[in-house]
Amino acid sequence: MAEEENKVSQKLHQLNVVFAFIKNPRLFRIGGYVAAILLFLYMFLAVLSFLNVVPKEIAKNLPFISSVVSRSAELDNLSTQTELTPYNLNTKIVYPKFSRVYRKDDPYVQIEEQNKEPLKDQVVMKRQFYDGKNVGEIFLNDQLVIRIYNKGPYNNEYARADEVAEKLKSFIKEQADMLKLIPKIVSGNLSIVHGNDILDQVNQADAMVNNSTPLQQAIAWINNIRIASGVTTLVKESDYQSLVQNPVVQPEVKPEVKVATKNEIVVTKLPEKLSKEDEAARTKLLKKIVRVYEAMPSGEALDIFGKMSDGQVADILSNMQDRKLAKILAVMDADRAATITKLLADKKANK
């Protein structure tokens, strides 16, 4: 009996303490602050345990956090990959059922899900800024396939990447067989070709970015495109060693005795022929010359245009397709582009 009275007395005492605490606003406010702080610390500890910052042996002793730890343990069954790149810190989950493909093009980019259903063919060029440089990144089906640091012969930092992306789009549109995308020496330059079409030329500056050779860089870009387009057969460097072991060496000639190339002959003969031929022959010749320049990369055409008068250049450009015309004007010196544009407008007005 005495024991039961003692228990009742203790409970009444506890209730009196609680009521006294509630009736005192200051104590009640302090208690609320303490409870809020404890709740915040508890949740903060849960987050840290999920990120594996807090040892799991400690976290498991906390009721709520133990469930977070069990979820983290499930993720541990997957391989995680943390990459410290020159640009950012990336942590990504690599699912074991998919094979990973190392791509020499960029050691920080991998395709984790090679066997997933291919996306709709899509080519996107994104403009980035890394280490003080403007960089053009070309994506195929959301996979980075080419990263161009070197602008090549263009004045615009992104013009080369834009042109490569446009060519890749045309390959995709024409449903080109990516197995036919190979490295090849064209006019003494290591190039990525598909049949008679050149996707891009790969030079030493491109290779130096990844501490590789131009051949390795070209093969890496080709394999990136093949993988992103769903082709599993990759190019092997050993199959193309002859390109670098027996390169096509162009004879070095001094500028004053340089032998005119086919394109330069066309350029130098243009004024004379245009002045002597009749109008029909003039139109036929001009169309032939236009086709030659439309087939050239914009940078090469721009180099030859530098040796011609504004009027001659305007004659050629006025007969070009608008898309090719826009690419050439985009990489041309701004002052000369303005002059050429005025001549083109005058020609159009006089027609």
**DSSP-derived 3-state class of residue 194:** strand
- List Cβ neighbours of 288 (8 Å cut-off, separation of 6 or more): none
Check residue 180 and report its DSSP letter: G
Whole-number Å distance between alpha carbons of 38 and 44? 10
Query: End-to-end CA distance of the chain, in Å?
Result: 120
The answer to whether the CB of 237 falls within 8 A of the CB of 219 is yes
Backbone phi, then psi, for 233, in 5-degree steps?
A: -80, 120
* Closest to 227 (Cα-Cα) out of 92, 100, 91: 100
- Tell me whether strands 79-84 and 89-94 are parallel, antiparallel or unpaired: antiparallel
Rounded mean pLDDT for each run of 10 residues along the chain, 351 residues in total: 67 64 66 81 69 51 47 42 40 38 44 45 80 80 81 70 87 83 86 88 78 84 86 80 57 41 44 51 75 80 80 83 82 83 78 61
Residue whose entry in the numeric block shows the structure tokens 């001549």: 343
Selection from 105, 184, 176 nearest residue 137 by Cα: 105
In whole angstroms, give the CA distance from residue 305 to residue 303: 6
Identify the pLDDT of residue 17.
Answer: 62
What integer pLDDT is reported at residue 114 of this predicted model?
Answer: 42
Would you state the pLDDT for residue 98? 34
DSSP letter string, 30-87: HHHHHHHHHHHHHHHHHHHHHTT-S-HHHHTTSHHHHHHHHHHHHHHTSEEEEEE-SS
CB atoms within 10 A of CB 124: 13
Q: Which residues pair with 137 in a beta bridge?
A: 126, 147
Give which of 17, 49, 16, 48 is closest to 31, Cα–Cα.
17
Query: Measured between alpha carbons, how far is 263 from 68 in angstroms, rounded to an integer?
Result: 70
DSSP 122: -
Task: List Cα–Cα distances, 104 to 5, 30, 47, 145, in angstroms.
Answer: 82, 61, 36, 11
Token pair for 85: 């790149």
Which two tokens mark 58? 């400690």
Determine the distance from the C-alpha atom of residue 14 to the mean position of all C-alpha atoms in its chain, rounded to a whole number: 68
Residue boundaries of the structural domains of the chain: 12-76, 121-245, 255-350
- Which pLDDT score is estimated for 55? 52
pLDDT of residue 231: 81
Report the predicted TM-score, pTM, of the whole model to 2 decimal places: 0.40
Return d(Cα 222, Cα 105) in angstroms, integer: 9
Beta strands in the chain (DSSP E): 79-84, 89-94, 101-102, 110-111, 123-130, 133-140, 143-148, 181-186, 189-194, 197-201
Give the pLDDT confidence score for residue 96 in this predicted structure.
Answer: 37
In this structure, are residues 160 and 152 in contact, taking their beta carbons and an 8 Å threshold? yes
What tokens were used for 338? 């303005």
Strand partners, 101: 111
Cβ burial of 203 (10 Å; 0-12, 13-18, 19+) is middle
